[in-house]
Amino acid sequence: MKVDTVWRNARLATMANGDLGIVEQGAVACVGGIIAYAGPADDAPAFDAARSIDCEQRWITPGLIDCHTHLVFAGDRAREFELRLAGASYEEIARAGGGILSTMKATRAASHDELIAGALPRLDALIAEGVTTVEVKSGYGLTIQSERAMLRAARQLAGERQVEVVTTFLGAHALPPEFAGDPDGYITLVCDVMLPMVAEEGLADAVDVFCEGIGFSADQTSRVFAAAAACGLPMKVHAEQLSNQQGAALAARHHALSADHLEHVDAAGIAAMAASGTVATLLPGAFYFTRETMLPPVAALRDARVPIAIATDCNPGTSPLTSPLLAMNMAATLFRLTVDECLRGMTVNAARALGRQAEIGTLEAGKRCDLAIWNVGHPAELVYRMGFNPLHARIWSGQ
């Protein structure tokens, strides 16, 4: 078989077949950036490879996928962090005009180049730990111009680095000051003006809503979902992070790709997600950083066979985290996910949360050749260690 590159003498965690899909003596070959073979070396065809790489028994996983980030923003919230350490709650700060709105002010004032320059160090941190696909949300502009600027900056990141960027319109992230006291009026702007513009200009691959007491109600969320469906865009939702607004059940009814956070999700929400195939995206960085105490019901999600993804939720307010490895360690240590669930949560299930499971997330023929090659004795080390990066090499689209 004529191939561009073969990676041989490797141990594979393919993430195929519902577990880690381990192949002890494996090989991966690619042609034109697409995996042509991934499996046991003994079963591989004879490769006529332009490039043959001896992996010296290193482990290869699919490239990691961070399926929930707010990577593009300006400013920081370090001062607010100090206030929270002094006892102010996230909600108190948000209601006092801090929080998302303080990042909104800085983001509206930033130029396109400034948004790019601010996001690149955060993107580079993710790439350094083997991320090959990253989801980036808008939601700090909250006007047509500024939401458009955020999404354009997110799209531009894919031109600055060898990475896939999947964008999500999160205009319904917070109520902008121009609509103070009129959330329904703002949701009308989101549905009737922003969303059609975003869809028309191809700026977003999905739509998200912050369904929460300090965000938007289930009714307002439902309006955005209906408008997204009318624009042909899939949905996601920040749901049950601080309270139970029935956001997950609503998302499932709309066949959303994912419902994210879920600390306060109930049995009805879980059953609805199981029925619709909506992915549960858990965000341990936000749980840890806000010192949340309500754990997401992992055992109930597991029992209902709801696919679980993990992401950094990189954002300046509740999760200034740019380490997918630490996110996995937190998901295991804080949420009691297993090693297999953590690794699948950052690969195959994260791909599903983005609706990209046909193209990425496992080491299987036909998928894009995104690889992370690790200096570890077993994949469990990727979840076990804290603050150590054992990445040996990262391959994106065969390069």
* Chain positions contacting ligand DI6, by CB under 6 A: 99-100, 103, 173, 210, 215, 238, 241, 286, 315-318
| Least separation in angstroms between CB 373 and ligand DI6 | 33
Binder of residue 376, out of ligand DI6, Fe ion, none (CB less than 5 to 8 A by kind): none
Nearer to Fe ion, 164 or 313 (CB): 313
Look-up: residue for tokens 């049950």?
240
Residue 164 C-beta: closest distance to ligand DI6, Å: 23
Kindly give the pairing relationship between strand 279-282 and strand 308-310: parallel
Residue 94 beta carbon to ligand DI6: minimum distance, rounded to whole angstroms: 7
Contacts of 37 (CB under 8 A, 6+ apart): 1, 3, 27, 28, 29, 44, 45, 47, 365
Per CB under 5 A, residues contacting Fe ion are 313
Which partner, Fe ion, ligand DI6, none, binds residue 100 by CB below 5 to 8 Å per kind? ligand DI6
- C-beta of 194: minimal distance to ligand DI6 in Å? 17
Closest CB to Fe ion among 66 and 313? 313
Residue placing its CB nearer to ligand DI6 in the complex, 215 or 234: 215
Q: What is the nearest approach in angstroms of ligand DI6 to the Cβ of residue 103? A: 5
- Cα end-to-end distance, the chain, whole Å: 19
318 binds, among Fe ion, ligand DI6, none (CB under 5 to 8 A by kind): ligand DI6
Distance in Å, CB of 247 to ligand DI6, minimum:
11
Q: How far is the CB of 73 from ligand DI6 (least distance, A)?
A: 7
396 phi and psi angles, rounded to 5 deg: -120, 120
Specify whether the CB–CB gap between 212 and 242 falls below 8 A: yes
Residue nearest to Fe ion (CB): 313
- Closer of 10 and 331 to ligand DI6 (Cβ): 331
Query: Which of ligand DI6, Fe ion, none has residue 210 at its interface (CB below 5 to 8 Å by kind)?
Result: ligand DI6
Name the residue number minimizing CB distance to ligand DI6. Answer: 317
Q: Which is nearer to Fe ion, 263 or 313 (CB)?
A: 313
CB of 46 to ligand DI6, least distance (A): 52
Q: Which CB atom, from 138 or from 318, has the smaller least distance to ligand DI6?
A: 318
- For residue 12, with 0-12 CB atoms within 10 Å meaning exposed, 13-18 middle and 19 or more buried, which class applies? buried
Q: Which residues contact 307 (CB under 8 A, 6 or more apart)?
A: 277, 279, 280, 349, 352, 353
Query: Within a 10 A sphere around the Cβ of 376, how many other Cβ atoms?
Result: 18
The two structure tokens encoding residue 231: 């624009």
**Please, which residue, 175 or 391, has the CB nearer to ligand DI6?**
175
| Three-state secondary structure call for residue 281 | strand
Give whichever of 327 and 395 is closer to ligand DI6, judged by the CB atom. Answer: 327
Q: In angstroms, rounded to a whole number, what is the distance separating the alpha carbons of residues 102 and 269?
A: 32
Of 248 and 373, which CB lies nearer to Fe ion in the complex structure? 248
CB 6 within 8 A of CB 49: yes
317's contact among Fe ion, ligand DI6, none, with CB below 5 to 8 A by partner kind, is ligand DI6
In the list Fe ion, ligand DI6, none, the entry touching 164 (Cβ below 5 to 8 angstroms by class) is none
Rg (CA), the chain: 21
Residue 167 contact, options Fe ion, ligand DI6, none, Cβ 5-8 Å cut-off depending on partner type: none
Residue type at 232 in one-letter notation: G
Closest distance of CB 85 from ligand DI6, Å: 16
Instruction: DSSP letter for 46, please.
Output: P
Inter-residue contact 60 to 14 (CB < 8 Å)? no
Under a CB-based contact definition with an 8 Å cutoff, are residues 116 and 51 in contact? Answer: no
366 closest CA partner among 33, 22, 26, 62: 33
